[in-house]
Amino acid sequence: MGMRYRTLLCGSLMAALSTGSLREPAAPPQAAASVAEPKPVPTFKVGEKLVYQAKVNFLRAGSATMLVENVEDVRGRAAYHTVFDVRGRLLFYKVNDHYESWFDTTNLASLRMIQKIENGDYEAQRNYEFFPERQVYVRNGEERPSVSEPLDEGSFIYFMRSIPLEVGQTYTFNRYYNLERNPVIIKVVRRERIKVPVGEFDAIVAEPTIKSRGIFSENGHAEVWFADDSTRRILRLKSKLSFGSLTLELKSVETADK
């Protein structure tokens, strides 16, 4: 129960990239031809804070907060500093996790990541440094091969918000820092009007998949609703899991303009 709940809550907004176990590579979806990888144009600003409520089936399971804290210098490069916190409880199992990511303001390439995980009686801290110019990353002192414009769990979420999402198109990306989990596939399927706790919005619905047992696994049939406006905020996420379904919905927004 513990590991499943950890994957459910902690991986929900982080694309389920760090918590799921790897499976054998699978062929990408064939429903539509892939298009060229678009250049990201950030749709978010420093000071943006998004708060989500989580449900497992019909039970409330916790909340998650995403914050764009600042633009900071990382080894001479201007980088967005984002913070992601997850707090939840299901029966007697408690989650209190903290993630921070720093990624380049121009191409959103990851430069640094910190993970502090408290799931029940399990605790861990992982420190990452990414070196795009050398196509390597360092995790807790160990160097490993990577890609030229890596994305970590935090930067991937903001990357998805920063690319054009055209209905009927399928986008293929080979930017995840862990080589074995590429490519990431994002299929854009429809537009619709939805209502979430923070309000009613026009949305673009996409189906991301990745080689993982988490929220965006090939068998999870995940859907993500992005605001169909200049912010591209994630309004809702749904995914099927082996023990039920997960739904996250946006319940509050704060910006530096307020």
Mean pLDDT of 73-87: 94
pLDDT value, residue 2: 44
- Is there a contact between 16 and 210 (Cβ–Cβ < 8 Å)? yes
DSSP string, 59-127: EEEEEEEEEEEEEEEETTEEEEEEEEEEEEEETTEEEEEEEEEEEETTT--EEEEEEEEEETTEEEEEE
Instruction: Pull the structure tokens for residue 213.
Output: 């047992």
Residues whose CB falls within 8 Å of the CB of residue 116, separated by 6 or more in sequence, listed in order = 97, 98, 99, 124, 125
Mean pLDDT of 30-45: 68
Mean pLDDT of 206-213: 75
Give the C-alpha separation, 50 to 70, whole Å: 15
pLDDT value, residue 31: 38
- The pTM for the full model equals 0.80
Span 218-254, pLDDT tens digits: 555 788 999 999 999 999 988 776 666 778 899 999 9
